[in-house]
Structure 1
């Protein structure tokens, strides 16, 4: 930290960053929590981003990724095959001349 003189004989502090700034690594759980918070009704995305120390653009990218993944998820419905008596029924034959 360096002190620099300003007008009127007052001082202000100046911070000199000498190292390269490192990227922050977010865990999957952190991303999921932040994205879920941003999808809550009446929530402002910018406020959620600021509160969690994420840029709004990055949060928007995460939201798009989540919605894209949800669209690609298989939509299977579980079914149960079999008759209640434990035997499978025979296929019906078409009646005709």
Structure 2
């Protein structure tokens, strides 16, 4: 069997719970179930977020909601339907911005100024040699050889 690298098995355990007790199922007292269901109806979070926070599957919370609704209807209590609030629009006011005069841009010449600085500076045994741009390669080599010879 080949297991791809994108399945939960190859990723390893990300979260697990250790259940202590005789059975594998958790027993939830009716008060706790009611409080979890009430959190779902508060409107601050969805059912999935509430279920995740309590370590439950959302389908379990939906089943608890359905059971509670059936119990209340059997007792004669009619629950109000929770209709989603209709979307409303906010009026938009569009104002024309005053015309702004463009700021003149300063154009710089495309010619670059060449700096007077040396292209290469060498220091050998305390003697500094500055070689400017455009110097002859033969002259540069002769100067370096002369400095090496004086060491």
TM-score between the two structures when normalised by the length of structure 1: 0.52
Structure 1's unaligned 5+ residue stretches are 1-12, 15-20, 76-97
Query: Could you list the runs of 4 or more consecutive aligned residues of structure 1 that deviate by over 2 angstroms after TM superposition?
Result: none
Give how far 1:37 is off.
0.6
Q: How many residues align?
A: 59
1:71 aligns with 2:73: yes
Give the superposition deviation at 1:50. Answer: 0.3
Task: Give the superposition deviation at 1:24.
Answer: 1.0
Structure whose alpha-carbon radius of gyration is higher: 2
Matches within 5 A, 1:1-97: 22-74=24-76
Tell me: higher relative CO, structure 1 or 2? Use CA pairs within 8 A at least 6 residues apart: 1
> C-alpha deviations, 1:12-53, integer Å up to 9, x for none?
x87xxxxxx711111111101101111112421000000011
The RMSD of aligned alpha carbons is 2.7
Q: Aligned equivalents of 2:25 and 2:71: distance in 1?
A: 25
Aligned mates of 1:50, 1:59 — CA distance in 2: 10
Structure 2 stretches of 5 or more lacking a match? 1-11, 14-22, 78-151
